[in-house]
Structures are given as C-alpha cells and as structure tokens.
Structure 1
C-alpha cells in the first residue's frame, strides 16, 4: 500500500469520516476514494489537494511527508477565503471543477510570471494540445430508448486533462432528455456497478432499450421537463450497468 493510501486511511479514521462523507464534501466519486484507500490507484495532484482541503490537513502529510497532519494558517483571512473556495467548488460537477482549476492555474501563472512563466505556459500548451484516442463502446439514450446489439467501437479524441483518473468504459449520449446536465453527443465516463445510489446518474439496460437517467425511488428521472420519467411494470426488466462519474463535451 502506498503512502497516500496509508495516510488517507489514517486521517479518515482519526476524524471519524467515512468514504461516502468525503465524496459528498469533495464531489469525487465514492468508488475512486475507496480505490485510493485500498491502494488500487494513485490519485492525481488536484484530487489530493481537494481531499486535503476538505479534511483540513496538510497536503504534504497525505503524500507521506514528515509534516504535521492538521493544517494551520498564519493568516485567518486567507484561511477563510480558501475554505470558501473549496466549499463552493466541491458542489460543482466535474466539468465546472475543471474550469475552476484552469482559472486558478491562470491566476498562478500571472502571479509567478517573473520566475516560471515559460514553464507554466509550456505545460498549459501541452495540456491543451495533447489528446488521447479512446473507444466509445455504447450508445445511451437520453430520450426514448436506444437498442444496441453490438459494441459501437467508435474512436474519439479527448484532451488528456479532461480524462478522469478512473473509469471502466465510455458511452455516448443520444437525445436531450437529460439537459441541461447532459447534451446530445456528450461522452460519458462510466464506472461499472450494480449499486447506484438514489440521485446518481447512471446507465441502465432495460427491456425498452439503453438509457442514461437519474435514479429515483422506483423510477428513472429525465431532467428535461419536455420528457417523461420512466416507470416500469413488474414484468419489465431494468438492470443497472454503471454510474456516470464524468463526461466530456466538445
């Protein structure tokens, strides 16, 4: 188990915080947090920062450095401002969190332009230009249902900095029933699971076709009021495929 996993588990135990509570504080999926706790994956720097701020601990402590666990601030105003930023950002979806992070990086670049402008500009250029070729395997309806007998296997180019840390598969949204959250043509990053929490957006395989919808108590919700919610009779099939952990929009 790596240092980050050990330290994260230690802090959660010390502060009596569960993985689901940390997920709610940061907006990071519970499955990703569980994977980090168990040492299955390494978290990226921006995620470690969010966790450190949400837990009120030193980022260096989570990385295994010999520093105090709890963060202290010399300037109370700085502490309050930073806490407000983190608290507000934690309520945003992943797409908007990325926008906040990009804006913060621009601000940092302007602040440090005398010493590191060229290095940051090069990194920004690289992040914007580098893409990864990924395969979309499914079509998920945000409308009246999509039948799909075989894998789609469609190649898409996605900027590296728009790809989440962990996911299992990609799918494409068809239709507008999930607007304004999801648009027609959005690429979904999906983590396979049969256990989807009420209120989460998931992918469902049903006797009427494949859907991407928000799970409610006893039905699937369409966010667009122009579309009906989906209710099922007892003899109809509805199986959870996975939860939507992020999405990419061109």
Structure 2
C-alpha cells in the first residue's frame, strides 16, 4: 500500500471533522495561508505544526504524516482535554441559558487553547482561587478575637485605647 502524503491526510481530517481551513487555523494557531499551502502540497508542515494539528484534534501524528496507522490516537492524560473539544461543545455551551455571553466566551476560548496553554490557564486559575481563599481567611481571622495569646483580665483590647496609649 502506498503511503499517503500530509496534504491528503489534511484533506481527510477536514472532511472527517466537517471543518474548513479557517476552523483549523483558529483551533491550532497556524496561519490560514500556511494551512492552505499544506493542503495544496506546496509546503510540508514542520514537526511542531504537525504536533499542533494532532493535539487539536486528537489525531495520531504518524497518521497525519501519511503512515498506515489509526487516525485517532489513544487518549492519554496529556490529551484528555482535547479529546472533548469539538464543534458540538461550542453549540452546547452556546445553548446553556444559565451562562452569560461573557462566560460562554470564556468556555469557548478555553476549548480553543492547545493543551499546553490549557495547563497554564488551569494553573493561573488555581493561583487566583488560592489567593482569593487567603483573602477570605484573613478577613475572617481579623474579625475574631486572638486566641493565640493570653490577655490578662482587665486589659482593654479595643483599638481606640491601644492607639491612644503612648506605650504602644
């Protein structure tokens, strides 16, 4: 059996997913003009571009390069995010009435990120949540009396008295 070229496989990918070159460009970050040249066979994508396309659609890189292997790769932990990113999810998100347009935009933008950038976004969100939690805990602790020290009876601990005391 003759090995197919990358241009043929890219055409198959577009047909299989029912997408256009513009969709592939948006999803991978590869300029549309480059994708057009790949599909026409005028240029062969470099390895990083093949990886970008493969990651975006959970496609086996070897298949994309024309080898006789299954099109879809096995889902691993690294790929699990992209395995569920397809055009149907965009429609599903768009039809959730409980989400504001801004929230829908966040979800659809996230789905368009490459896996490595999704990890960065996830890490940043975790950091923000951690900072938010610390702020809440600080406010709660500031509103309560101190329990880590013994204050003798009769000592006034109100802020006004402490602020007026010259010894402090």
User: Larger relative contact order (C-alpha < 8 A, sep ≥ 6)?
Assistant: 2
Instruction: Kindly name which structure, 1 or 2, has the bigger radius of gyration based on alpha carbons.
Output: 2
For normalisation by structure 2, the TM-score amounts to 0.46
More helix by share: 2
